[in-house]
Amino acid sequence: MRNREIAELFYEAADILEYQQVEWKPRAYRKAAQMIENLGEDIEKIYAREGKVGLTKIPGIGESIADHIAEYLETGKVEKFEKLKEKTPSGTAELMEIRGLGAKKIKKLADALGVRTLSDLKNAIIAHRLKRLEGFGEKSEKNLAKAIEQYEKSHARLALGKALPLADEVIAALKAQCESRTSKVDLSKVIYTGSLRRLKETIGDIDILAEAEKEEALKVVDCFVSLPDVEQVILKGSTKSSVILREGTSIDLRVVPPESYGAALQYFTGSKEHNIELRNVAIKNGYKLSEYGLYLKESGKQIAGSSEKEIYGILDLAYIPPELRENRGEIKAATKNALPKLVEAGDLRGDLHMHTQYSEGKDTLKTMIQKAEALGYEYIAVTDHSRSQKVANGLEIEKLKAQ
């Protein structure tokens, strides 16, 4: 469901308006956000079925807020909120993510101490300028310093080469945890999504998607938050949870039922721009697409959702590999069945950089050759270090002759 996504949109707008010292709107937006967050039904389904009239039936949502929700569902953004962000100092959004800081405190820090960025705040804490400010104090400084440290750890970007094995480890641990519990849950379908599945060079945080029946979802969440490497549980819901691992990486888990697994996998894998464009394709073809499924626009009947390939197929598109889902022309190419063929492991013909046990490698020359043959390679180049690289166990002339 997109309820949480839309709720966060209104929470953010409320924070910005509060920072701008607007009096009544922040309250209205927060009330609407709470109602949407706790709604028992997918808000996109309500809109598909009843339009804006259906949205206004939700307590706390009037005509104006219903218009914003409809605009976001149709376009992926609210123009008014985009303009609000433009009028707010660039560092404010980041400061609002620091635990213990709200809009009023941020405004006070900006007016009294000139704090407008995270760097400004860190410098003010180091100089102990906060504790002299009314409403703060020495304890506030310590708490904020700790919150900043946690924020920076969780927002540090990971290289793909580190993120992939870490995601695999977390998934393996989650499966083992669910298997070891008294009430076992079959996690045959669990995968990382987001920028990691698109194989971006660096990753902000890791998103994991799991399939489970509705009555089993909370059990999966319980397994996730109790993993041994979890340092802090940020959020624990019935189908979604966020944690921070001991080494600082933030991991989000979403659990969806089988009928929505493919739709959720597509939604949480594609870039925001790719997903907006794909939703536009769905609308043009008389459908509504969300992370919950593909629906007929008129009746609201779900016609696909369990499979990514099925969704792309119904929209008359060739299946788009995750790595291409960036809205760089891939959707247009998919309509013509003209997507490029990606290089896969089986396409590799050889390896021109290999180290053996003679220098700093882990395997023998014979083992390396046998593995290369098993992979179907046509050639390899052994590149053990020369004697100039003593720190890497470089080969002396006699050792090189022996090799």
- How far apart, in Å, do the first and last CA atoms of the chain sit? 61
Matching residue, tokens 């925001």: 272
Domain-wise residue ranges, the chain: 3-154, 159-256, 265-335, 345-402
For the structural domain made of 159-256, what CATH number should be given? 3.30.460.10
User: At 143, which amino acid appears?
Assistant: N
Domains 3-154 and 159-256 belong to one CATH topology: no
Annotation: CATH topology of 265-335: Beta Polymerase; domain 3 (3.30.210)
At residue 202, what are phi and psi to the nearest 5 degrees? -130, 150
Beta strands 379-382 and 350-354 are parallel
Q: How far apart are CA 97 and CA 333, in angstroms?
A: 39
Token pair for residue 202? 């660096």
pTM attached to this predicted model: 0.62
* Alpha-carbon torsion, ordered 270, 254, 210, 278, to 10 deg: -20
Annotation: CATH topology of 3-154: DNA polymerase; domain 1 (1.10.150)
Check the CA dihedral 310-315-321-322 and report its sign. negative
From first to last of its 403 residues, the chain has per-residue pLDDT tens of: 578 778 888 888 888 887 777 778 888 898 898 888 778 778 888 998 899 999 999 988 999 999 999 999 888 888 888 888 777 766 777 787 787 777 778 888 888 888 888 888 889 889 888 888 887 888 888 888 888 887 777 677 888 988 999 999 999 999 999 888 767 777 889 999 999 999 999 898 899 999 999 889 999 999 999 998 898 898 898 889 999 988 788 999 999 999 999 999 999 999 999 999 999 999 999 999 999 999 998 899 999 999 999 999 999 999 999 999 999 999 999 999 999 999 998 899 999 999 888 887 888 999 999 999 999 999 999 988 888 776 667 888 888 888 8
Token pair for residue 21? 């010292």
